[in-house]
Each structure stands twice: as C-alpha cells, then as structure tokens.
Amino acid sequence: MTAAQRCGVVRDVLQDERRPVANETNLVIEVVWSSVPVDLSKFFVIGISTRALFDLSKEDRIFREQGLKAFSDYQLEHEDDLLPKGTGFALAEAILRLNSVAPGKRKAEVVVMSRNSANTCLRIFNSTEHYGLDVTRAALTGGAPLAPYLDAFDVDLFLSADEADVQAAANAGIAAGLIQQAPQNESRPVDQLRIAFDGDAVLFSGESERIYQEQGLEAFLAYETANARKPLPDGPFAKVLRALAILQAFGETAGQDVIRTALVTARNSPAHERVIRTLREWNVRIDEAFFLGGVSKDKVLQAFGAHIFFDDQEVHCQSAAKLVPTARVLARAVEPKPVQAALTPDGSKPRKAVS
C-alpha cells in the first residue's frame, strides 16, 4: 500500500459519520496492515518527531508567524513536495538497517510522532517512502502532547525539536534528546550505526557532575578517586547503551559489525578509572573512549563519524552540532539530593570553584 493509499484510508476513517473530522484533534494512528498483534517491547524503538526526522524549519516558521491554518494550508498545497532530511534522519536510517542483518528477524522500529493532524500527514509519508525508510507507524496527536503516548509505543529513545516534549519525556524516565540544527552538507554512510555519548548526566547519573559544578574540579577529582571502585549510578541513557549492546551481539552472531559506540567525555585521569569499572560492572562495551580533559569534542566526533551525539551541556552541543548530528539531553525535573564530596588527599575540605 502506497503512502497516498495509507493516508486515503486515514481520511476515510476521519470522514466516517461515527468519527467526524471535528474530532480529529487527538488522534493516534498506528499504520499497521496486519491482523497479527505486534509487541513493540521486543524491539528497540525510536520515537522521532517530524521536525527531527525532516527539515521543517520553513514550515515551523510559517506556523509560528502565521498560525495553524496557514501551516496546514501550506502542507496540503505542498504535499507532493519531498521534505529535506533532518538531523535525526541518518540515525533512523541506520537503526532500521539492523532489520536487514537477519531476514525475518526485525530488531528495531521507528515511530514517527507529531503534534500535526492526520489531515496533513501525506507529505510525511510520501517523504519516508521516497527515501526508502521502513517506517509504518505514526502517532499524530493534533496538537496534544506526545509524552503520554511514548509508553504506549514502548519507546526506548525519543528525539524531538520541541523542548517541552523532550522535557516531558525525560520527566517520564524515557531517554530523550533535543535535536539541534543539522550540520550543513551532512551525509553519512549507514552500513554501520555510530552513536556517541557524553558520560556524566547522560550514560551515568549527574551526581559527580553536580560536585564539579558546585564545588569545583578539586572536589570532583577527590570524590571520584575515593569512589573509583563504586559503580556510577545509571544515567538517562544507560538503558539505551545496554540495548545497543544486545543489538551488537545480535549482529556479531550474523557475522556483521552493525553498531559502534563511543564515549566522549571531558573527564580525564584520575577520573577515568570509575568510568571503566562501571562499564565492566554493567557488562557492556564501549568501542571507543575519549577522555578529553578539556579538549574540544567536535573534531573527535567528526573523526568518529557519529550518526548522532548525546550531551547534556549546551556549550558542547553547539560546537558538536556544526560537524555531526547532535541532541541535547535535558535533566529530569526532580530536585537532586545533595552529594557529600570526599576530602582532598591532605584531609582538608575541597575548595569551591571560583565563580
């Protein structure tokens, strides 16, 4: 069934007298044409907004400056025009390639999620079909928040250009990234999925980073040295890394190196030891690790060839986004518990950073 036929079915349903178009505002559509139930909890599921998947900057500007009607009219008038690829497109394309590793054994799914209405969906489906993206499911909520539907689709990773939706997802305990503007002339091969992560407040909890922010480098290093053999608590993307490790193992059984991961962190010696021991404790591997100690991350990420990089610091995201697709990780809106820093080697209390 073509994209046009799919949206034709959607419109037929909306125009049924039992479900008038006026009630379209909070509609979730799962475009699946099989009578066999699908358990998405068995897949690695990425929920991605249309503005993360495609470059909708012009359309978003029309919406913000001229309103919903002008936006809807524009989408309908241009529904045969293909959308340019967005920041998250390469990631979606690469993750879906995992399904070709072993025919008949799907491991990943991508769900398009949007606050747009079903009536403006045709351009989205036309574009996914043109680019050959194996995307069959969509949540189109007609202006309603997306976060309540993330659990319904068993989403493991959510990407969006809308900060409110990303924050709501993070608050719900789902790994979520705020997509940054795509690098210019971005084009990356998808034969191997490459994902890079920051460490603190991304893969690991933010407790150590809070010490650094509040008490300075000396206190941070003392705390990490004292706790070197204590595994770091999980951060918001710990489950994502574990899921990727399972997918890596799946690829290896088929004789393919389908995923490569990298840790790109501002930590350096002696704070590296706790990270390495934590990954051992988790029984997951990081293929490449970079302890930069203040060196800029952007060129390392470019050399790695990341399809996407996740970092919680806006300054790192801004520089990285010029060279590789990047998403900022927002902190969960929960008041953090104070962390007691360790004493310095001479037994004195660590000095606070100079503001």
Active site residues: 198
Q: How many residues are present in the chain? A: 355
Q: Could you tell me which of 143, 181, 170, 157 has the C-alpha nearest to residue 26?
A: 143
Burial class (CB in 10 A: 0-12, 13-18, 19+), 20: exposed
If DSSP codes are grouped into helix, strand and coil, which group holds residue 289?
Answer: strand
**Number of helices (H), then strands (E), in the chain:** 13, 10
Query: Of 293, 28, 48, which Cα lies nearest the Cα of 155?
Result: 48
Query: Are the CB atoms for 161 and 227 separated by under 8 Å?
Result: no
DSSP state of 204: B
Instruction: Report the alpha-carbon angle 144-164-305, nearest 5.
Output: 115
Q: Whole-angstrom Cα distance, residue 351 to residue 173?
A: 34
CA 35 – CA 37 distance, rounded (Å): 6
CB 141 within 8 A of CB 27: yes
Spatial distance between the Cα atoms of 260 and 317, rounded to a whole number of angstroms: 20
Judge whether 117 and 140 are in contact, CB under 8 Å. Answer: yes
